Amino acid sequence: MAQLGTIRRLDIVQLGLDENHMPYSDGVACVQAYWAYSMDLSQGERDNMRNLILNHSYRHTVASRQEFYEHRLCRDPAGRTRPGLIILRALYKAVPVDFENGVVARCGHLPVRNRSDEYFTLFPDTVGPPVFDMDTGRARRYQQRYPLLKVTPSTLRNRDQAVVIAPQETPSPTIPPASPTASSPVPASPVTDTDFEEISASPPAIPIPENLQSPSATAEANSPVTRQEFDQLCSEVATLAENVSMLRRAFERQRERRREQRREIRRQIRREIRRGLRRVRRR
């Protein structure tokens, strides 16, 4: 077990967000990952992971919700480390094998044991994560729109349901290490489906395998994926992006037609004015 003096405390409240902020649930998932896996990191790695979370480096952009490699941590050297990879695994259902293997080759294998219970022994007054009722149409549409994401925004929760604080007790299973040619899986943080942006309109539905929708399928969602499986997910996202792009182009064409109609009306008005002026001069 890590000593109290070698691990710094990290609480959900330190995120400076609440359940009405879009990045809140992603931040909660990252804090839980810190509780679970930071004890098996070096002191420097622990501090780096804590700083990445407190600096909100986990936050998504529109592009990163659709494509893993668009996340800022994938482009930042800090993200191509063990702390960065643990955070990315808390955000995405699947991490590309080549990305994970690159981190493992440079930095070593990831922690595979959830040691949250030992963290809570060090900090017994830690407040657990909130649990929301996410059985809403908006949450389901979000999950269909962004099938790569592990976390669903708390802003899409059932707001009539009272917020419940999850108990601290979490299992600490020991997972066999991966083979040298494969990447090491990091189990999901205890609470998923609790975090990100509100969708105002229903996008085209993409069929998603049931095992990717269910937050209870923790082991399968966190097992290493093949490039083919990851490419399939990206293909589904690309199909949706293409549909959105087609709608955007159609909207732009319609808007351009309206602009041309307005320009033609103005030209006709100017022609009529000039004709009227010529008639007046002739008189």
125 in the same domain as 265: no
177 in the same domain as 263: no
197 in the same domain as 172: yes
175 in the same domain as 52: yes
163 in the same domain as 84: yes
* Residue 246 in this model has a pLDDT that exceeds 70: yes
Classify burial at 136, counting beta carbons within 10 Å of its beta carbon; exposed 0-12, middle 13-18, buried 19 or more.
middle
* pLDDT (tens digit per residue) in 62-111: 999 999 999 999 999 999 999 999 999 999 999 999 999 999 999 999 99
Where does a domain end: 192, 223, 254? 223
Classify burial at 203, counting beta carbons within 10 Å of its beta carbon; exposed 0-12, middle 13-18, buried 19 or more.
middle
If one counts the domains in the chain, the total is 2
Q: Mean pLDDT score of the chain, rounded to an integer? A: 79
Q: Locate tokens 């790569």: which residue?
A: 148
pLDDT above 70 covers a percentage of the chain that reads 72
Confidence band of 275 (pLDDT split at 50, 70, 90): confident
**Distances in Å between the alpha carbon of 278 and those of 154, 196, 268, 282?**
68, 64, 15, 6
259 in the same domain as 121: no
231 in the same domain as 219: no
Question: Could you tell me the residue range of the domain that residue 275 belongs to?
Answer: 226-283
Confidence band of 113 (pLDDT split at 50, 70, 90): very high
161 in the same domain as 112: yes
Average pLDDT over residues 189-217: 41
Confidence band of 162 (pLDDT split at 50, 70, 90): low
278 in the same domain as 144: no
244 alpha carbon, distance to own chain's centre: 20
Rounded (10°) angle between helices 82-91 and 97-107: 150
235 in the same domain as 199: no
30 in the same domain as 147: yes
What is the rounded distance in angstroms from the CA atom of residue 116 to the CA atom of residue 37?
8
